[in-house]
Amino acid sequence: MEYKDYYEILGLKKDAPQDEVKRAYRKLARKYHPDVSKESDAEVKFKEVGEAYEVLKDPEKREAYDQLGENWKAGQDGFQPPPDWEQNFDFGGGGYTQGNAEDYSSFFEDLFGGDRASSGRYHRSGGPSGGFQAKGENVRAKIMIDLEDSLNGTKQSVKMSIPEINEQGQVVSKHRTLSIKIPKGIKEGQTIRLSKQGNPGHGGGEPGDLLIEVAFNPHKLYNINEKDISLNVPVAPWEATLGAKIKVPTPDGKKMDMKIPPDSQQGRKLRLKGKGLPGKNAGDFYVVLQITLPPSSNPKVKEYNEKMRDEIDFNPRSYLF
């Protein structure tokens, strides 16, 4: 098994006093809580922090752990605790004081797991004969998708790590890859439900669901807000003033003719109804005009602008005074 440096995980020195351990844990727990943090590996970090605290908060476990640390050499992967190390410490039976056993790493398990075979908390009692039947827990995950995935309902593979129990009764984080079809028109913050892909049921109950929260990767052209998609489109000053017909790329990969009305100011939004994310209440597609100036290094541009300055009576700042 792999040695875990619980002090490093909590950002502590080896001689940190107990109240400092508590403070460090609370701070990191808030930081990495999967419902608070946006980092993709928040769940893993949060569990690591919890595991580290579970050991270091208890002076007895901490002492035992410290003794082990001295015997451990850096780079040594196949870490085994000395065979008799547990004798001096009294936590042979069931070392968990809070949380679920599944949340702890195999390293923790080997040190503090106690007698797993008889630990009722670990092996859920049950089986059809137990008379206790319940649906498995729902499992939650996060996924980043592209705008195109939601537009077209494409296939995506999702990698997840799920804590599982192997034959030796150890908790291992198993990597599971699922190939899923993204529901068409899903928007940021919504959840994909995969029926019966969660934790197994107890006593013959049906498995829970897998709930995957969706977020979008930033797109190089389009900006997405709820079900609406917007695109900034540069226009020349004369196009904005006189009106024009231009071509714009739509999210579905096509080109579309669009009429710019005369006297369109910077930032004017033109709406194409129903061309946003598809679905029951399809979103809209907005073209946002960005007036773009031709460079004054061009002599013609300079000439015409000077002419406008001299001949047109226009003060855009009149309302300021």
Partner 1 sequence: MSTNVMNIISGSILEEEPTLNLAELCQCCQTPAEFIIRLVDQGVIAPLEGESTRQWRFHQSAQIRTHKALRLRQDLGINLSGVALSLELLDEIDSLKRELNQFKHIAENQLFDSNS
| Candidate ranges 15-23, 25-33, 65-73, 238-246; the one touching partner 1 (CB under 8 A) | 25-33
Are the beta carbons of 28 and 10 closer than 8 angstroms?
A: yes
Q: Does 140 bind partner 1 (CB under 8 A)?
A: yes
Q: Does 141 bind partner 1 (CB under 8 A)?
A: no
* Least gap, CB of 102 to partner 1 (angstroms): 14
Q: Pick from 295, 287, 320: which is nearest to 221 by CA?
A: 287
Q: Which is nearer to partner 1, 26 or 307 (CB)?
A: 26
| Candidate ranges 9-17, 112-120, 169-177, 256-264; the one touching partner 1 (CB under 8 A) | 169-177
Helix (H) or strand (E) holding 249: strand 244-249
Q: Does 178 bind partner 1 (CB under 8 A)?
A: yes
Q: Does 166 bind partner 1 (CB under 8 A)?
A: no
At position 91, the amino acid (one-letter code) is F
Binding string, residues 275-304; x marks residues near partner 1 by CB under 8 A: ----xx-------x-x-x------------
Q: Which is nearer to partner 1, 256 or 288 (CB)?
A: 288
Angle CA 149–233–152, to nearest 5: 15
**Residue choice 87, 129, 179, 318 for contact with partner 1 (CB under 8 A):** 179
Q: Does 192 bind partner 1 (CB under 8 A)?
A: yes
Instruction: Report 203-232 residues binding partner 1 (CB under 8 A).
Output: 211-213, 218, 223, 225, 230, 232
Per DSSP, helices labelled H in the chain are 6-10, 18-32, 42-56, 59-71, 106-112, 147-152, 237-242, 299-311
Collapse the DSSP code of 129 into the 3-class scheme (helix H, G, I; strand E, B; otherwise coil) and give the result.
Answer: helix
Q: How many CB atoms lie within 10 A of CB 191?
A: 14
At position 72, the amino acid (one-letter code) is W
* Least gap, CB of 307 to partner 1 (angstroms): 24
**Residue choice 119, 138, 250, 305 for contact with partner 1 (CB under 8 A):** 138
- Number of residues in contact with partner 1, rule: CB under 8 A? 49
Q: Pick from 116, 92, 100: which is nearest to 170 by CA?
A: 116
Cα–chain-centroid distance for residue 48? Answer: 17
Q: Which is nearer to partner 1, 197 or 264 (CB)?
A: 197
Q: Pick from 219, 221, 195, 199: which is nearest to 102 by CA?
A: 199
* Least gap, CB of 46 to partner 1 (angstroms): 8
Distance CA 276, CA 256 (A): 14
Are the beta carbons of 68 and 111 closer than 8 angstroms?
A: yes
Binding site for partner 1 (CB under 8 A): 26, 29-30, 33-36, 46, 50, 135, 137-138, 140, 155, 157, 174-175, 177-183, 185-186, 188-195, 197, 211-213, 218, 223, 225, 230, 232, 234, 279-280, 288, 290, 292
